[in-house]
Chains A and B, each alone.
Chain A
Amino acid sequence: EAGVTQFPSHSVIEKGQTVTLRCDPISGHDNLYWYRRVMGKEIKFLLHFVKESKQDESGMPNNRFLAERTGGTYSTLKVQPAELEDSGVYFCASSKEGFYGYTFGSGTRLTVV
């Protein structure tokens, strides 16, 4: 089966611009998670979708971040407007219902300059 796909792999944008990250989970995985690693820190949870619904968005930093999951398939994470502190690596992971295992994407490295 195909893995979790994220794109772009890298993005460099200027402060104030908008960026949209995309995650394609494994087909049939109802659970989709977004995480972020800021340089030098541990990976932190952003939000969790179950199908198209936001199950937990307690980790979203502020209202500049908007996540969607169209039809319970792929998900997008939009940052608008981007700030310098948004730089980091954004990971997506998916899992099947009733199963603890997670499959991670390769991440999107976002640099805001």
Chain B
Amino acid sequence: KNEVEQSPQNLTAQEGEFITINCSYSVGISALHWLQQHPGGGIVSLFMLSSGKKKHGRLIATINIQEKHSSLHITASHPRDSAVYICAVNTDTGTASKLTFGTGTRLQVTL
């Protein structure tokens, strides 16, 4: 069993829908990251969280440390949001530590 689990693995939505991607982890963490990878593209960092909630444009990320769970929400989804969304955690203390990744959620937003 992976230390970081994401659900769903695949998600298809229509433009304008509200989308939620979930991430659960089974280890102690110092930070959690949400990353985005467009087809054929590199990985882009969306959020880094250690508590609470962060918002950037139509993206919202939340984390519940007690429940070891994080969610990434996309409001008013658009086809350009189609990408793989990856949850990753720092399990070591300190800022210079490696990431442990989930398998990713492939999102397809259609017109």
**Which positions in A face B, CB cutoff 8 Å?**
3, 30-31, 33, 35, 41-45, 48, 50, 55-56, 59, 91, 93, 95, 97-107
Contact = CB atoms under 8 A, between A and B. Distances in A.
Contacts of B42: 3, 91, 104-107
Chain B contact residues, majority secondary structure: strand
A48 B75 CA distance: 36
Given A100-B31, A100-B48, A102-B33, A42 B95 contact: no
A104 B43 CA distance: 6
A91 to B, nearest CB: 6
Nearest to A96: B95
A45 B41 contact: no
B45 A102 contact: yes
B51 interface: no
Interface string B85-111: 010101000011011111110000000
Interface residues of B, number: 23
Given A43-B101, A100-B31, A102-B33, A50 B96 contact: yes
A104 B45 contact: yes
A97 B96 contact: yes
Most buried by B among A31, A43, A50, A97: A43
Contacts of B2: 42
A50 B97 CA distance: 10
A69 B90 CA distance: 23
B95 A104 contact: no
B50 to A, nearest CB: 8
A45 B98 contact: yes
A55 B96 contact: yes
Contact of A44 (B41, B44, B48, B101): B101
Contacts of B31: 100
A41 B48 contact: no
Interface in B25-52: 31, 33, 35, 41-45, 48
Given A104-B43, A106-B42, A98 B104 contact: no
Most buried by A among B2, B42, B86, B90: B42
